């Protein structure tokens, strides 16, 4: 019996999961081979990364601080993907959330128990506002959200740099290019890990339940898979698109608020640390599944935390970016390969010369 390769419309979830795991392993093996060729010991480096991350409370706390913003940004991108929208602007929405929350902390008087929720609302409003124009352009003029959300990132970054070095610059002169330290902060839950992490985990579980067990979540999934069929069935695809994209921006903005009020304590340029862009990889590796985002965000946090060890061994931060790029590259290949299946050819072979 002979076989032929057949590209299937979809791949089985188990096959896709196995392909994703294999892609990550291959990316790490490729990075290890490159390090070995450059004279480094990849096994020793890997051991140091694991021991520094999981071998001490300090490493675990640092891991938690990286895990939290990656969760928010990964969830923001994943939510948009549920309806087929690519929110490449989580970086800008994260910054706007931090900006709006800082404004509340600096200029609104009140006790901490009141200001922290107000900062959270302001952060979500800032993120949603920053994706509003791309959302309306997508919904009513079919303008690509890939371009509009990406371009909005640069405006947000420049805005944060401007206020941190100009109007909101720390008047005490104790710090350069930052605002004054915020008078309120998100409470700690373990060591220096604040409540931003548990909130992000609860948010991921809530989104998973909402998308899997509510009518709204079902309509969003159908609208993302086949907008034409969803509209024909009477589903308000346009309304769902607007709501989902605004929700996506609000989640990224909440992440920015947690970062400025829980981790950093003041607004400064570069506060996002590329979390918005890394969130794209987190969401893609998780296939836009909110619970999957938890696993992939944790994995990315381990890689970022390991970057500190790599830098101490004479490697640059570009090494970590190269590894993350390899993972995404191999994951894209794995997704395509997973769609192919060996199909037996059952047709009869006609003898040569026969009619």
Is the Cβ–Cβ distance between 92 and 151 less than 8 Å? no
Instruction: Quickly state the pLDDT bin for 352 (edges 50, 70, 90).
Output: low
pLDDT at 190: 93
pLDDT at 351: 54
**Whether pLDDT at 347 is above 70:** no
Q: 86-115 pLDDT, tens per residue?
A: 999 999 999 999 999 999 999 999 999 999
Mean pLDDT within 167-174:
86
Of residues 20 and 156, which shows the higher confidence score? 156
Of residues 275 and 6, which shows the higher confidence score? 275
> What number of helices (H) and strands (E) belong to the chain?
14, 4
Q: What percent of the chain lies above the pLDDT cut of 70?
A: 97
Q: For residues 260-299, b (16+ Cβ closer than 10 Å) or e, as one string?
A: bbbbbbbbbbebbbbbbbbbbbbbbbbbbbbebbbebbbb
Mean pLDDT within 238-254:
97
**Whether pLDDT at 299 is above 80:** yes
Mean pLDDT within 64-72:
96
Is the Cβ–Cβ distance between 217 and 210 less than 8 Å? yes
Question: What average pLDDT does the structure give for the chain?
Answer: 90
pLDDT at 204: 97
CA 150 to chain centre: 14
Instruction: Quickly state the pLDDT bin for 49 (edges 50, 70, 90).
Output: confident
Instruction: Quickly state the pLDDT bin for 142 (edges 50, 70, 90).
Output: very high
Q: How many residues does the chain have?
A: 355
- What is d(CA 184, CA 339) in angstroms, rounded to the nearest whole number? 51
Q: For residues 52-91, b (16+ Cβ closer than 10 Å) or e, as one string?
A: bbeeeeebbebbbbbbbbbbbbbbbbbbbbbbbbbbbbbb
**Whether pLDDT at 337 is above 80:** yes
Of residues 315 and 109, which shows the higher confidence score? 109
What value does the CA radius of gyration of the chain take, rounded to a whole number of Å?
A: 23
């Amino acid at each position: 019996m002979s076989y032929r390769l057949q590209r299937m419309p979809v791949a089985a979830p188990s096959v896709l999961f196995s392909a994703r795991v294999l892609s990550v392993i291959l990316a790490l093996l490729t990075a290890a081979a490159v390090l070995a060729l450059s004279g480094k010991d990849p096994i020793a480096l890997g051991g140091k990364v694991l021991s520094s991350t999981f071998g001490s409370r300090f490493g675990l706390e640092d891991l938690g601080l990286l895990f939290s913003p990656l969760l928010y940004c990964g969830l923001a991108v994943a939510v948009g993907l549920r309806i087929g929208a690519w929110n490449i602007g989580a970086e800008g929405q994260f910054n706007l959330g931090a900006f709006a929350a800082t404004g509340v902390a600096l200029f609104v008087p009140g006790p901490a128990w009141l200001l922290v929720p107000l900062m959270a609302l302001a952060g979500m409003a800032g993120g949603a506002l920053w994706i509003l124009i791309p959302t309306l352009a997508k919904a009513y003029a079919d303008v690509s959200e890939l371009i509009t959300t990406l371009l909005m990132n640069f405006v947000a970054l420049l805005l944060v740099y401007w206020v941190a070095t100009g109007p909101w610059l720390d008047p005490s002169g104790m710090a350069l290019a930052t605002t004054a330290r915020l008078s309120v902060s998100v409470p700690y839950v373990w060591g220096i890990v604040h409540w931003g992490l548990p909130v992000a985990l609860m948010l991921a579980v809530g989104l998973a339940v909402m998308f899997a067990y509510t009518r709204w979540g079902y309509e969003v999934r159908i609208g993302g898979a086949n907008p034409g069929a969803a509209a024909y069935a009477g589903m308000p695809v346009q309304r769902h698109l607007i709501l989902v994209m605004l929700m996506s921006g609000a989640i990224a903005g909440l992440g920015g608020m947690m970062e400025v009020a829980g981790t950093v304590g003041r607004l400064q340029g570069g506060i996002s640390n590329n979390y918005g862009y890394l969130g794209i990889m987190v969401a893609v590796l998780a296939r836009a599944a909110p619970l999957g985002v938890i696993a992939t965000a944790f994995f990315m946090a381990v890689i970022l935390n390991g970057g500190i060890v790599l830098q101490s061994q004479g490697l640059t931060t570009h090494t970590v970016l190269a590894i993350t790029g390899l993972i995404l590259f191999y994951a894209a290949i794995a997704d395509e390969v997973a769609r192919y299946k060996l199909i037996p050819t059952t047709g009869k072979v006609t003898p040569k010369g026969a009619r």
